[in-house]
């Protein structure tokens, strides 16, 4: 039961990161019917802005001291603003001149922007994976303290069990100092020796290290940050779209672009604003999801996330903001379930979560192209 609950929480977190990207996809598609392939790169851009803010403004270092929640949230906010400005520039320079061209032409331009951002990032910040600065100590549950002597050498670490050496601080928070015998690897005699050496050393200097065992699926406190961020952003977006003049203009433009223009709505401003909001959310998602949660950032990090988020937007009904959130959460939970339970059905099935994602996409496109919450397409002719 605990395993199931942690799987669902895991999925909700993953889904929340997808949702932060999918919202922008769906808003842009709703307004100008463009699949903005560069949206995944906005997520990447946001993660890098967050990284540089934490390092340059808050003095963080890769693997350095914890910077705290305030620093993380400030970095996320600045990343969102910077990404939003980037999106406005991209829209103004590339997408606006193409608004009257065919959809496929615009799609190609979007591919071009996506490639440009990826390739430029590879030249500028380098293709190497960077570790996001620490912002707060990640605690994983459930966990179980074990003695190294209870491990059997040669046995495969049971149920993807990972054994991690940790130093409990005074307040009971654990900090990882080393990590061996991961995910179904064989426990080697050298592993046990290494553990004993570290325990011996910590007993001598009084730092009190201990060995803990974690199951394959765990819940951590950083899940809460992501899920709360999504909840806050969703609420803000709902208020913006439903209860402000700008939101009404957005809905009007999404409903009928030309009629909205004829009614005196400044469509260029609305489109630019939509790009800004979508990219802002993706930038925040980049810092919190790609940076804080995954803690590994690299120029191509937006490719898979962007594709999956797009799948989420299609599942939810592209053009619908609540649909994007629902679709993303559903996709996140589905992936987490495949990863957690796949191996129980058939050995190795857990590895196919990507295939499952895209199979869901294709099924959805065939059975209900308008998505879970989308309106059925009206242009049958």
Partner 1 sequence: MTFDHAFAFWGEHLIIVAIWLVLTLSLNLINGYCGLFSLGHQGFWAAGAYAAAATVKYMPPGGEHNWLGVFLSFPIAIFVAALFGLIVGLPCLRLKGDYLAIATLGFSEILRNVIQNSEALGLSLGLSPPNVVQNAVGTNATYAIYLVLCWAAVALTVIVLRNLIDSSHGRAIQAVRDDERAAELLGVNLTFYKVFVFVTGAAFAGLAGALFANFNSFVTIGHFDFNQGVMMVVMVVLGGMGNMRGTAAATILLYFVGNVFLKWLPAVSVPVFYDPTQGGIVYSQIKDLWQVLYSVLLIVVVLVRPQGLLKGVDFRIPWRKKAAGI
Can you give the binding site for partner 1, defined by CB under 8 A?
35, 52, 55-56, 94, 97-98, 101-105, 107-109, 111-113, 115-116, 118-120, 122-126, 303, 307, 310-311, 314, 348, 351-352, 354-355, 358-359, 361-362, 365-366, 369, 381
Q: 237 or 361, CB closer to partner 1?
A: 361
Q: Are 47 and 285 spatial neighbours (Cβ–Cβ below 8 Å)?
A: no
Least distance (Å) between residue 99 CB and partner 1: 12
| 363: enclosing H helix or E strand | helix 353-367
Least distance (Å) between residue 375 CB and partner 1: 15
Q: 100 or 243, CB closer to partner 1?
A: 100
Enumerate residues 6+ apart whose C-beta is below 8 A from 82: 45, 46, 49, 283
Q: 61 or 248, CB closer to partner 1?
A: 61
Q: 56 or 189, CB closer to partner 1?
A: 56
Alpha helices in 187-320 (DSSP H): 189-205, 222-243, 245-255, 257-262, 267-285, 301-316
User: What is the DSSP-derived secondary structure letter of residue 63?
Assistant: T
Q: Are strands 210-214 and 144-146 parallel, antiparallel or unpaired?
A: antiparallel
User: What is the DSSP-derived secondary structure letter of residue 98?
Assistant: G
Least distance (Å) between residue 159 CB and partner 1: 20
Q: 105 or 152, CB closer to partner 1?
A: 105
Q: 98 or 146, CB closer to partner 1?
A: 98
Least distance (Å) between residue 306 CB and partner 1: 11
57: left (phi over 0), alpha (psi -120 to 50) or beta: alpha
Least distance (Å) between residue 24 CB and partner 1: 16
What is the length of the chain? Answer: 381
Residue 370: CA count within 13 A, CB half-sphere: 8
Least distance (Å) between residue 358 CB and partner 1: 4
Q: Helix, strand, or coil here: 21?
A: helix
Q: What is the DSSP string of 124-182?
A: HT-SS-EEPPP-S---EES-EEE-GGGSPTTSBPGGG-EEEEEEE-TTS-EEEEEEES-
Nearest Cα residue to 86 out of 276, 331, 363 = 276
Least distance (Å) between residue 109 CB and partner 1: 4
Q: 247 or 302, CB closer to partner 1?
A: 302
Q: 188 or 355, CB closer to partner 1?
A: 355
Least distance (Å) between residue 116 CB and partner 1: 4
Enumerate residues 6+ apart whose C-beta is below 8 A from 75: 49, 50, 51, 53, 54, 57, 58, 287, 291
Q: 8 or 113, CB closer to partner 1?
A: 113
User: What is the DSSP-derived secondary structure letter of residue 219?
Assistant: E
Least distance (Å) between residue 98 CB and partner 1: 7
């Amino acid at each position: 039961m605990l395993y199931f609950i942690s799987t669902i929480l895991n999925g909700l977190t993953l889904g929340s990161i997808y949702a932060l990207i999918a919202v922008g996809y769906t808003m842009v598609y709703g307004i100008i019917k463009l699949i903005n392939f560069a949206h995944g790169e906005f997520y990447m851009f946001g993660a890098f802005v967050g990284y540089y803010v934490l390092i340059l403004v808050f003095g963080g270092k890769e693997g350095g001291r914890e910077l705290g929640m305030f620093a993380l949230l400030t970095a996320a906010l600045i990343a969102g603003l910077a990404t939003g400005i980037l999106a406005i520039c991209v829209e103004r320079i590339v997408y606006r001149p193409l608004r009257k061209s065919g959809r496929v032409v615009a799609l190609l331009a979007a591919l071009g922007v996506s490639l440009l951002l990826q390739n430029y990032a590879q030249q500028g910040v380098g293709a190497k994976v960077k570790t996001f600065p620490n912002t707060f100590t990640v605690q994983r549950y459930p966990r179980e303290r074990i003695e190294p002597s209870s491990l059997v050498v040669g046995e495969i670490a049971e149920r993807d069990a990972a054994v991690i050496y940790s130093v409990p601080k005074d307040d009971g928070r654990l900090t990882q100092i080393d990590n061996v015998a991961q995910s179904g690897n064989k426990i080697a005699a050298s592993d046990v020796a290494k553990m004993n050496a570290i325990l011996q050393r910590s007993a001598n200097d009084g730092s009190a290290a201990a060995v803990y065992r974690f199951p394959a699926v765990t819940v951590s406190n950083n899940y809460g940050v992501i899920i709360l961020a999504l909840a806050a952003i969703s609420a803000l977006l709902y208020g913006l779209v439903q209860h402000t003049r700008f939101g009404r203009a957005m809905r009007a433009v999404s409903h009928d672009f030309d009629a909205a223009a004829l009614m005196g709505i400044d469509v260029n401003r609305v489109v630019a604003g939509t790009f800004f909001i979508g990219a802002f959310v993706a930038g925040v998602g980049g810092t919190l999801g790609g940076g804080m949660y995954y803690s590994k950032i690299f120029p191509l990090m937006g490719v898979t996330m962007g594709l999956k988020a797009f799948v989420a937007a299609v599942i939810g009904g592209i053009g619908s903001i609540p649909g994007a959130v629902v679709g993303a959460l559903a996709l996140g939970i589905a992936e987490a379930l495949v990863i957690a339970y796949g191996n129980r059905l058939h050995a190795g099935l857990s590895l196919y979560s990507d295939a499952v994602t895209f199979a869901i996409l294709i099924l959805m496109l065939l059975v209900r192209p308008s998505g879970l919450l989308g309106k059925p397409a009206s242009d049958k002719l």
